[in-house]
Amino acid sequence: MKEDGACLFRAVADQVYGDQDMHEVVRKHCMDYLMKNADYFSNYVTEDFTTYINRKRKSTCHGNHIEMQAMAEMYNRPVEVYQYGTGASPGRWGGSRGADVGAGEGLSWPRPQLAEQSLMKSAIKTSEESWIEQQMLEDKKRATDWEATNEAIEEQVARESYLQWLRDQEKQARQ
């Protein structure tokens, strides 16, 4: 990641879009999200919130925990900050130079785009399975209705046949 103040937004852009150069789009969406949710996020800012947002819209202004929280909500992803160490890396967005932010360390996806593709495939599969289950349920309802109707007809025919037999028996008994 370039060390230009956009490192957090570059890291997120790299993970979300597969292209760190989309950091300005990520920053804009983040700042817009913060403004839309000013009633919540303004509680964590010590300066005038509009001034804060205007300052953070500048491409050289570093992001912090507030922007991380906003992006975690925006992209519906947990954020884990990683700092270089000898232990295992749990990070998704992280860096190797102290507070600097890099990308890809500890990421379970070999390429960032695969995460979105995988989520899309999963959503499609879930939708298809739901549709299939719904169709199966409808088929079962139709089959059950047909079976119930068929049973009712058979019972009615058997009852009519029995009544006819009784009438015939009565006739024979009278003769």
**From the CB of residue 27, how many other CB atoms can be counted at a distance below 10 Å?**
24
pTM of the model: 0.50
Among residues 96, 92, 95, the alpha carbon closest in space to that of 115 is found at: 92
Please determine, looking at this structure, whether the domain spanning 7-108 carries the CATH number 3.40.30.10: no
Any idea where the domains of the chain sit in the sequence?
Answer: 7-108, 113-175
Return the top range by mean pLDDT from 17-26, 74-83, 115-124, 130-139: 17-26
User: What percent of the chain lies above the pLDDT cut of 90?
Assistant: 43
Give the integer Cα–Cα distance in Å for 160 and 154. 10
pLDDT digits (tens, 9 = 90+) for 88-114: 555 455 444 444 444 444 444 455 566
pLDDT beyond 90 at 152? no
Residue 131 is which amino acid?
A: W
Strand-pair category, 93-94 with 81-82: parallel
Confidence (pLDDT) at 105: 44
Q: What is the DSSP letter of 87?
A: S
pLDDT digits (tens, 9 = 90+) for 59-98: 999 999 999 999 999 998 888 776 666 665 554 554 444 4
